Amino acid sequence: MALLEVEDLTVNFYTQDGTVNAVDNLTYSIERGEKFGVVGESGAGKSVTALSLMRLIDSPGHIESGEIRFKGQDILSMSEDEVRSIRGNEIAMIFQDAQTALNPVYSVGEQIAEAMRHHLDYSKSEAKEETIDLLAKVGIPEARKRYSDYPHEFSGGMQQRAIIAMALSCDPDLLICDEPTTALDVTIEAKILEEIESLAEEFDTAIQLITHDLGVIAEICDRVMVMYGGKPVEKAPVEELFYDPKHPYTVGLMSSIPRIGDSTDRLQTIPGKMPDLVELPPGCSFHPRCPYAEEACTLSEPELLDTKTGKPASEVGTNHSAACLAYSGDLTGELDYSVTVNEDSKSNAPASQITGDNQ
Ligand code: SF4
Protein backbone atom coordinates (compact mmCIF):
# COMPACT_ATOMS: atom_id res chain seq x y z
CA MET A 1 0.00 0.00 0.00
CA ALA A 2 1.35 3.42 -0.99
CA LEU A 3 1.61 6.13 1.68
CA LEU A 4 -0.78 8.40 -0.24
CA GLU A 5 -3.29 7.30 -2.87
CA VAL A 6 -5.37 9.90 -4.68
CA GLU A 7 -8.08 8.43 -6.86
CA ASP A 8 -10.38 10.23 -9.30
CA LEU A 9 -10.21 13.48 -7.32
CA THR A 10 -12.44 16.24 -8.72
CA VAL A 11 -12.54 19.73 -7.19
CA ASN A 12 -14.78 22.55 -8.43
CA PHE A 13 -15.08 26.21 -7.49
CA TYR A 14 -18.49 27.80 -7.93
CA THR A 15 -17.83 31.40 -8.99
CA GLN A 16 -19.97 34.16 -10.45
CA ASP A 17 -18.38 33.47 -13.82
CA GLY A 18 -19.30 29.79 -13.71
CA THR A 19 -17.96 26.48 -12.41
CA VAL A 20 -14.16 26.29 -12.34
CA ASN A 21 -13.12 22.68 -12.74
CA ALA A 22 -9.81 23.15 -10.88
CA VAL A 23 -8.92 19.45 -10.56
CA ASP A 24 -10.50 16.87 -12.80
CA ASN A 25 -10.42 13.14 -12.10
CA LEU A 26 -6.89 13.18 -10.77
CA THR A 27 -5.22 9.91 -9.78
CA TYR A 28 -1.70 9.45 -8.39
CA SER A 29 0.15 7.89 -5.48
CA ILE A 30 3.25 8.56 -3.39
CA GLU A 31 5.31 5.83 -1.72
CA ARG A 32 6.87 6.15 1.74
CA GLY A 33 10.01 8.29 1.58
CA GLU A 34 9.43 9.12 -2.10
CA LYS A 35 10.00 12.60 -3.51
CA PHE A 36 7.20 13.31 -5.92
CA GLY A 37 7.11 16.47 -8.05
CA VAL A 38 4.01 18.21 -9.39
CA VAL A 39 4.78 20.75 -12.09
CA GLY A 40 2.78 23.09 -14.30
CA GLU A 41 1.94 26.74 -14.87
CA SER A 42 -0.38 28.78 -12.62
CA GLY A 43 -3.91 27.46 -12.87
CA ALA A 44 -2.83 23.87 -13.57
CA GLY A 45 -4.48 22.66 -10.35
CA LYS A 46 -1.30 21.97 -8.36
CA SER A 47 -2.07 23.97 -5.22
CA VAL A 48 -5.75 22.98 -5.17
CA THR A 49 -4.60 19.35 -5.19
CA ALA A 50 -2.33 20.02 -2.21
CA LEU A 51 -5.03 21.82 -0.23
CA SER A 52 -7.43 18.94 -0.93
CA LEU A 53 -4.97 16.52 0.70
CA MET A 54 -5.22 18.56 3.91
CA ARG A 55 -8.98 19.02 3.38
CA LEU A 56 -8.48 22.77 3.30
CA ILE A 57 -10.71 23.62 0.34
CA ASP A 58 -13.03 26.44 1.42
CA SER A 59 -16.22 27.77 -0.13
CA PRO A 60 -16.78 28.46 -3.02
CA GLY A 61 -14.57 25.41 -3.60
CA HIS A 62 -15.90 21.89 -3.15
CA ILE A 63 -14.35 18.44 -3.37
CA GLU A 64 -16.90 16.81 -5.66
CA SER A 65 -15.73 13.25 -5.74
CA GLY A 66 -12.82 10.88 -5.41
CA GLU A 67 -10.81 9.34 -2.61
CA ILE A 68 -7.67 10.50 -0.82
CA ARG A 69 -6.25 7.58 1.14
CA PHE A 70 -3.43 8.23 3.59
CA LYS A 71 -1.96 5.03 5.03
CA GLY A 72 -5.06 3.32 3.67
CA GLN A 73 -7.59 5.62 5.39
CA ASP A 74 -9.84 7.88 3.36
CA ILE A 75 -9.21 11.47 4.46
CA LEU A 76 -12.40 12.67 2.80
CA SER A 77 -14.61 10.51 5.01
CA MET A 78 -12.84 11.33 8.31
CA SER A 79 -14.36 13.54 11.02
CA GLU A 80 -12.95 17.06 11.39
CA ASP A 81 -11.15 15.98 14.61
CA GLU A 82 -9.50 13.04 12.86
CA VAL A 83 -8.29 15.28 10.02
CA ARG A 84 -6.97 17.85 12.50
CA SER A 85 -4.89 15.19 14.22
CA ILE A 86 -3.27 14.29 10.87
CA ARG A 87 -2.78 17.87 9.69
CA GLY A 88 0.56 19.31 10.78
CA ASN A 89 1.39 16.02 12.46
CA GLU A 90 1.45 13.22 9.87
CA ILE A 91 1.00 15.50 6.85
CA ALA A 92 2.67 18.91 7.02
CA MET A 93 2.81 21.71 4.51
CA ILE A 94 5.34 24.40 3.60
CA PHE A 95 3.72 27.34 1.86
CA GLN A 96 5.28 29.74 -0.59
CA ASP A 97 4.86 32.79 1.57
CA ALA A 98 6.55 32.27 4.94
CA GLN A 99 5.48 35.68 6.20
CA THR A 100 1.80 34.82 6.16
CA ALA A 101 2.40 31.39 7.66
CA LEU A 102 4.07 32.83 10.80
CA ASN A 103 2.03 34.61 13.44
CA PRO A 104 3.61 38.07 13.98
CA VAL A 105 2.64 38.31 17.66
CA TYR A 106 4.39 35.15 18.89
CA SER A 107 8.12 34.46 18.79
CA VAL A 108 9.25 32.04 16.09
CA GLY A 109 10.48 29.53 18.67
CA GLU A 110 7.23 29.59 20.65
CA GLN A 111 5.19 28.89 17.53
CA ILE A 112 7.22 25.79 16.68
CA ALA A 113 7.29 24.59 20.28
CA GLU A 114 3.52 25.05 20.54
CA ALA A 115 2.96 22.76 17.53
CA MET A 116 5.16 20.11 19.18
CA ARG A 117 3.34 20.36 22.48
CA HIS A 118 -0.01 20.09 20.77
CA HIS A 119 0.81 17.08 18.60
CA LEU A 120 3.51 15.26 20.57
CA ASP A 121 2.55 15.96 24.16
CA TYR A 122 5.94 17.45 25.07
CA SER A 123 6.42 19.46 28.24
CA LYS A 124 7.20 23.15 27.82
CA SER A 125 10.94 22.71 28.42
CA GLU A 126 11.18 19.58 26.22
CA ALA A 127 9.43 21.39 23.37
CA LYS A 128 11.77 24.37 23.74
CA GLU A 129 14.92 22.23 23.62
CA GLU A 130 13.62 20.23 20.62
CA THR A 131 12.75 23.48 18.84
CA ILE A 132 16.22 24.93 19.39
CA ASP A 133 17.70 21.70 18.03
CA LEU A 134 15.47 21.86 14.96
CA LEU A 135 16.17 25.56 14.32
CA ALA A 136 19.88 24.74 14.35
CA LYS A 137 19.29 21.80 11.98
CA VAL A 138 17.55 23.99 9.40
CA GLY A 139 20.48 26.40 9.50
CA ILE A 140 19.37 29.20 11.86
CA PRO A 141 22.60 30.57 13.39
CA GLU A 142 22.68 30.98 17.19
CA ALA A 143 19.42 29.06 17.40
CA ARG A 144 19.11 29.35 21.20
CA LYS A 145 19.40 33.12 21.03
CA ARG A 146 17.06 33.42 18.04
CA TYR A 147 14.37 31.23 19.68
CA SER A 148 12.74 34.32 21.20
CA ASP A 149 12.93 36.48 18.06
CA TYR A 150 9.70 37.57 16.40
CA PRO A 151 9.09 36.80 12.72
CA HIS A 152 9.90 40.39 11.65
CA GLU A 153 13.38 39.97 13.16
CA PHE A 154 14.10 37.09 10.74
CA SER A 155 15.18 37.62 7.10
CA GLY A 156 13.03 36.09 4.32
CA GLY A 157 15.37 33.08 4.05
CA MET A 158 15.36 32.54 7.82
CA GLN A 159 11.57 32.79 7.94
CA GLN A 160 11.34 30.09 5.29
CA ARG A 161 13.77 27.92 7.28
CA ALA A 162 11.59 28.46 10.36
CA ILE A 163 8.56 27.28 8.39
CA ILE A 164 10.50 24.18 7.34
CA ALA A 165 11.41 23.59 11.01
CA MET A 166 7.76 23.96 11.97
CA ALA A 167 6.67 21.55 9.24
CA LEU A 168 9.24 18.96 10.34
CA SER A 169 8.69 19.49 14.07
CA CYS A 170 6.21 16.63 14.38
CA ASP A 171 8.21 14.27 12.14
CA PRO A 172 5.51 14.04 9.43
CA ASP A 173 5.34 11.10 7.02
CA LEU A 174 4.38 13.41 4.15
CA LEU A 175 5.63 16.95 3.59
CA ILE A 176 3.79 19.01 1.00
CA CYS A 177 5.97 21.85 -0.29
CA ASP A 178 4.02 24.38 -2.36
CA GLU A 179 6.49 26.57 -4.29
CA PRO A 180 8.69 26.60 -1.16
CA THR A 181 11.45 28.77 -2.63
CA THR A 182 9.67 31.00 -5.13
CA ALA A 183 9.90 34.11 -2.92
CA LEU A 184 13.63 33.65 -2.28
CA ASP A 185 16.70 34.62 -4.27
CA VAL A 186 18.51 31.85 -6.14
CA THR A 187 21.42 31.30 -3.73
CA ILE A 188 19.08 30.93 -0.77
CA GLU A 189 16.75 28.82 -2.92
CA ALA A 190 19.51 26.31 -3.61
CA LYS A 191 20.39 26.06 0.10
CA ILE A 192 16.78 25.68 1.21
CA LEU A 193 16.14 22.96 -1.37
CA GLU A 194 19.26 21.13 -0.20
CA GLU A 195 18.05 21.37 3.38
CA ILE A 196 14.56 20.14 2.58
CA GLU A 197 16.07 17.20 0.74
CA SER A 198 18.57 16.21 3.42
CA LEU A 199 16.08 16.66 6.27
CA ALA A 200 13.55 14.55 4.40
CA GLU A 201 16.22 11.84 4.04
CA GLU A 202 17.08 12.07 7.72
CA PHE A 203 13.44 11.92 8.86
CA ASP A 204 12.45 9.42 6.09
CA THR A 205 9.71 11.83 5.02
CA ALA A 206 7.93 11.61 1.66
CA ILE A 207 7.68 14.91 -0.23
CA GLN A 208 5.10 16.24 -2.63
CA LEU A 209 6.91 19.19 -4.21
CA ILE A 210 4.74 21.62 -6.14
CA THR A 211 6.44 24.05 -8.47
CA HIS A 212 6.28 25.71 -11.87
CA ASP A 213 10.04 25.20 -12.15
CA LEU A 214 11.29 21.97 -13.74
CA GLY A 215 14.84 22.79 -12.57
CA VAL A 216 13.68 22.50 -8.94
CA ILE A 217 12.04 19.15 -9.71
CA ALA A 218 15.31 17.90 -11.22
CA GLU A 219 17.21 18.73 -8.04
CA ILE A 220 15.00 16.82 -5.65
CA CYS A 221 12.41 14.47 -7.09
CA ASP A 222 12.26 10.75 -7.93
CA ARG A 223 9.05 10.93 -9.96
CA VAL A 224 7.11 13.75 -11.52
CA MET A 225 3.58 14.53 -12.67
CA VAL A 226 3.05 17.37 -15.16
CA MET A 227 -0.37 19.04 -14.85
CA TYR A 228 -2.29 21.14 -17.34
CA GLY A 229 -5.81 22.53 -16.96
CA GLY A 230 -6.53 20.52 -13.79
CA LYS A 231 -5.39 17.18 -15.25
CA PRO A 232 -2.17 15.21 -15.35
CA VAL A 233 -0.70 15.19 -18.87
CA GLU A 234 2.50 13.24 -18.18
CA LYS A 235 3.82 11.06 -15.37
CA ALA A 236 7.34 9.65 -15.36
CA PRO A 237 10.46 8.94 -13.31
CA VAL A 238 12.34 12.24 -13.22
CA GLU A 239 15.28 11.20 -15.43
CA GLU A 240 12.98 9.80 -18.11
CA LEU A 241 10.98 12.99 -18.12
CA PHE A 242 14.06 15.10 -18.71
CA TYR A 243 15.78 12.87 -21.23
CA ASP A 244 12.73 11.49 -22.99
CA PRO A 245 9.71 13.80 -22.49
CA LYS A 246 6.59 12.47 -24.19
CA HIS A 247 4.01 15.24 -23.99
CA PRO A 248 4.26 18.43 -26.08
CA TYR A 249 3.44 20.53 -23.00
CA THR A 250 6.36 19.00 -21.06
CA VAL A 251 8.59 19.64 -24.06
CA GLY A 252 7.41 23.27 -24.05
CA LEU A 253 8.18 23.62 -20.32
CA MET A 254 11.62 22.16 -20.85
CA SER A 255 12.38 24.46 -23.76
CA SER A 256 11.75 27.41 -21.48
CA ILE A 257 14.44 26.44 -18.93
CA PRO A 258 17.50 28.70 -19.21
CA ARG A 259 20.76 26.75 -19.62
CA ILE A 260 24.38 27.71 -19.10
CA GLY A 261 26.17 27.80 -22.46
CA ASP A 262 22.99 28.23 -24.50
CA SER A 263 23.79 30.89 -27.10
CA THR A 264 20.22 31.69 -28.19
CA ASP A 265 19.19 35.30 -27.56
CA ARG A 266 15.74 34.60 -26.17
CA LEU A 267 14.23 31.91 -24.00
CA GLN A 268 11.62 29.76 -25.68
CA THR A 269 8.13 30.18 -24.32
CA ILE A 270 4.92 28.23 -24.83
CA PRO A 271 2.63 30.39 -26.98
CA GLY A 272 -0.70 31.45 -25.48
CA LYS A 273 -1.73 30.96 -21.87
CA MET A 274 -3.40 28.44 -19.61
CA PRO A 275 -7.05 28.16 -20.72
CA ASP A 276 -9.98 29.48 -18.72
CA LEU A 277 -10.95 26.60 -16.44
CA VAL A 278 -14.61 27.63 -16.66
CA GLU A 279 -14.60 26.83 -20.34
CA LEU A 280 -11.82 24.48 -21.33
CA PRO A 281 -11.16 24.04 -25.05
CA PRO A 282 -12.85 20.92 -26.42
CA GLY A 283 -10.84 17.76 -26.99
CA CYS A 284 -7.26 18.07 -25.76
CA SER A 285 -7.27 21.27 -23.70
CA PHE A 286 -3.66 21.97 -24.76
CA HIS A 287 -4.57 22.04 -28.47
CA PRO A 288 -4.72 25.86 -28.91
CA ARG A 289 -1.05 26.04 -27.79
CA CYS A 290 0.26 22.77 -29.20
CA PRO A 291 2.51 22.91 -32.28
CA TYR A 292 1.42 19.37 -33.27
CA ALA A 293 -2.36 19.87 -32.93
CA GLU A 294 -4.57 18.38 -35.63
CA GLU A 295 -8.32 18.33 -36.06
CA ALA A 296 -8.57 15.09 -34.08
CA CYS A 297 -7.13 16.94 -31.06
CA THR A 298 -10.16 19.26 -31.01
CA LEU A 299 -12.58 16.33 -31.09
CA SER A 300 -11.47 13.82 -28.49
CA GLU A 301 -9.89 14.21 -25.10
CA PRO A 302 -6.76 12.07 -24.71
CA GLU A 303 -6.42 9.93 -21.58
CA LEU A 304 -3.14 9.01 -19.93
CA LEU A 305 -1.63 6.23 -22.03
CA ASP A 306 1.42 4.06 -21.57
CA THR A 307 3.86 5.74 -23.98
CA LYS A 308 5.27 2.39 -25.18
CA THR A 309 2.12 0.37 -25.81
CA GLY A 310 -0.57 3.07 -26.11
CA LYS A 311 -2.68 1.20 -23.56
CA PRO A 312 -4.57 3.13 -20.86
CA ALA A 313 -2.16 3.82 -17.99
CA SER A 314 -4.88 2.87 -15.50
CA GLU A 315 -4.96 -0.66 -16.94
CA VAL A 316 -1.31 -1.51 -17.50
CA GLY A 317 0.46 0.03 -14.49
CA THR A 318 3.14 1.84 -16.51
CA ASN A 319 5.69 4.21 -15.00
CA HIS A 320 5.72 6.56 -18.01
CA SER A 321 2.42 7.80 -19.39
CA ALA A 322 1.23 10.81 -21.38
CA ALA A 323 -2.18 12.18 -22.36
CA CYS A 324 -1.68 12.79 -26.07
CA LEU A 325 -3.37 11.32 -29.14
CA ALA A 326 0.09 10.53 -30.52
CA TYR A 327 0.07 7.40 -28.33
CA SER A 328 -3.40 6.20 -29.28
CA GLY A 329 -2.57 6.31 -33.01
CA ASP A 330 -5.10 9.09 -33.66
CA LEU A 331 -2.59 11.63 -34.98
CA THR A 332 -1.69 11.56 -38.67
CA GLY A 333 1.58 13.43 -38.07
CA GLU A 334 4.35 12.84 -35.55
CA LEU A 335 5.63 14.66 -32.50
CA ASP A 336 8.60 16.09 -34.33
CA TYR A 337 11.15 17.03 -31.70
CA SER A 338 14.34 15.51 -30.47
CA VAL A 339 16.16 15.66 -27.18
CA THR A 340 19.94 15.78 -26.97
CA VAL A 341 21.41 14.70 -23.67
CA ASN A 342 24.53 16.48 -22.49
CA GLU A 343 26.48 13.54 -21.04
CA ASP A 344 29.12 15.86 -19.58
CA SER A 345 26.70 17.50 -17.21
CA LYS A 346 27.90 17.08 -13.64
CA SER A 347 24.81 18.50 -12.00
CA ASN A 348 21.37 17.11 -11.39
CA ALA A 349 19.86 19.93 -13.39
CA PRO A 350 18.30 19.08 -16.75
CA ALA A 351 21.01 18.64 -19.32
CA SER A 352 18.85 17.87 -22.32
CA GLN A 353 18.28 20.20 -25.27
CA ILE A 354 15.08 20.14 -27.31
CA THR A 355 15.07 20.66 -31.04
CA GLY A 356 12.13 20.54 -33.42
CA ASP A 357 8.77 22.24 -33.76
CA ASN A 358 8.72 23.29 -30.13
CA GLN A 359 11.67 25.62 -30.78
S1 SF4 B 1 -3.45 15.46 -28.30
FE2 SF4 B 1 -2.96 16.83 -29.96
S3 SF4 B 1 -3.06 18.88 -29.08
FE4 SF4 B 1 -2.98 17.45 -27.38
S5 SF4 B 1 -0.83 17.33 -26.89
FE6 SF4 B 1 -1.24 15.66 -28.33
S7 SF4 B 1 -0.78 16.53 -30.33
FE8 SF4 B 1 -0.96 18.24 -28.91
**pLDDT, tens only, 246-274:** 999 999 888 766 555 555 555 567 878 88
pLDDT attached to residue 349: 46
**Mutation to probe ligand 1, out of 280, 297, 301 (largest number of atoms < 8 A from CB):** 297
Q: Cα–Cα distance between 306 and 332 in angstroms, integer?
A: 19
**Amino acid making up residue 283:** G
Is the pLDDT higher at 320 or at 347?
320
Q: Ligand 1 — pocket residues by CB below 6 A?
A: 248, 284, 286-287, 290, 292-293, 297, 302, 324-326, 331
**pLDDT, tens only, 107-152:** 999 999 998 888 788 999 999 999 999 999 888 999 999 999 999 9
Name the H helices within the chain: 46-53, 80-86, 98-101, 108-120, 124-137, 143-146, 156-168, 186-203, 214-220, 238-243, 248-255, 295-299, 313-316
pLDDT(350) > 50: no
pLDDT attached to residue 233: 97
- Average pLDDT (343-357) is 51
Task: Give the Cα-Cα-Cα angle 139, 140, 143 (nearest 5 degrees).
Answer: 125
**pLDDT, tens only, 263-322:** 555 556 787 888 888 889 999 999 999 999 999 999 999 999 999 999 999 899 899 999
- Average pLDDT (187-196) is 78
Q: Which domains does the chain have, with CATH numbers?
A: 29-47+84-90+174-359 (3.40.50.300), 97-171 (no CATH)
**Mutation to probe ligand 1, out of 251, 287, 294, 335 (largest number of atoms < 8 A from CB):** 287
- Average pLDDT (59-77) is 95
Rounded mean pLDDT of the chain? 87
pLDDT attached to residue 259: 57
Q: What percent of the chain has pLDDT over 70?
A: 90
Residue 172 CA to ligand 1 centre (angstroms): 39
**pLDDT, tens only, 1-23:** 899 999 999 999 999 989 999 99
pLDDT attached to residue 266: 56
Of 243, 249, 227, 223, which is closest to residue 37 (Cα–Cα)? 223
Burial of 51 (0-12, 13-18, 19+ CB in 10 A): buried
For the CA of 291, the closest atom of ligand 1 is 8
Residue 227 CA to ligand 1 centre (angstroms): 14
Least confident of 188-197, 260-269, 344-353: 344-353
- 78 neighbors 19 (Cβ within 8 angstroms): no
Q: Cα–Cα distance between 20 and 138 in angstroms, integer?
A: 39
β-strand pairing of 231-237 with 223-228: antiparallel
Residue 286 CA to ligand 1 centre (angstroms): 6
What's this model's pTM, rounded to 2 decimal places?
A: 0.88
pLDDT attached to residue 12: 95
Q: Sorting pLDDT into bands at 50, 70 and 90, what band is 356?
A: low
pLDDT attached to residue 19: 94
Is the pLDDT higher at 337 or at 325?
325
pLDDT(216) > 70: yes
For the CA of 302, the closest atom of ligand 1 is 1
Residue 297 CA to ligand 1 centre (angstroms): 6
pLDDT attached to residue 359: 46
> Which residue's alpha carbon is nearest to atom 3 within ligand 1?
287
